[in-house]
Amino acid sequence: MRVRVTTTALGITAALLAVPACSTGTKPDTAPSARTGKPADAAQRTAMLSSAALETRLLDEGDLGSGYLRKPEPPAQHDDVTVIGCPALSELGGSAATGGALTFPRKAKASFTYAGSSSSEISEELYSDSANKLSDGIGRIFDAMTGCPTYQVVAGGTAIDMASEKLPAPHQLGDEQWSQLLTFSAGRRSTVVKQTAIRDGSLLLIVSGSPALVDRHLEKALAKAERVG
């Protein structure tokens, strides 16, 4: 397997969340909104956005408040990566298990540190595609990861022990939701990362990072991602 690997837990989390964009079922795009209970405008909910449009809908420092600093995207690196102890994740293929990002072509991403601390980070990813493709793609990878309570990732010769726990998802947001808690352990250091994904129509939002920061900014991120105009 070949993959871009970064040194932070968030980088490894993003690396683990790659999945082929494919569809195996049919799901209506005009389901009632989970927040309002009213049918959303079908054209608005099914319209696919370009990467440039998604970029404008990402949170920025002004949205997050004082103390946040946007991180520059790291240069591309490729190290050999092996997933041990999670057959379901390995069966999805090399890019699915350890790729750099979800493979949907329309995407945007931003990462921030809070108060200059590398242990307090938050990352936001936005994707746009058909509801079926978004649902199938993110659903399969979350099912695989939460189906393995413990496994190991060996990246560039470094062994990282992983523990995953499925969390209750915020069902009042969006059409579909997924959430998990990941613990990365290497040597004597451990990092806990919360990851929540929400699909609303043709938009997929993934927020990852320190659990408190994810909880604090999730609804704000979704509101900005869904804005009209």
The overall pTM is greater than 0.85:
no
> Does 2-23+39-225 carry CATH code 3.20.20.150?
no
- Quick one: tokens of 218? 């999730």
Beta strands in the chain (DSSP E): 2-3, 68-70, 79-84, 106-114, 117-128, 150-155, 158-166, 176-186, 189-200, 203-209
- 26 φ, ψ (degrees, to nearest 5): -125, 125
Condensed to tens digits (0 to 9), the pLDDT of residues 174-207 reads: 999 999 999 988 888 888 999 999 999 999 999 9
Condensed to tens digits (0 to 9), the pLDDT of residues 7-55 reads: 345 555 554 554 333 333 334 333 443 344 434 466 667 789 999 999 9
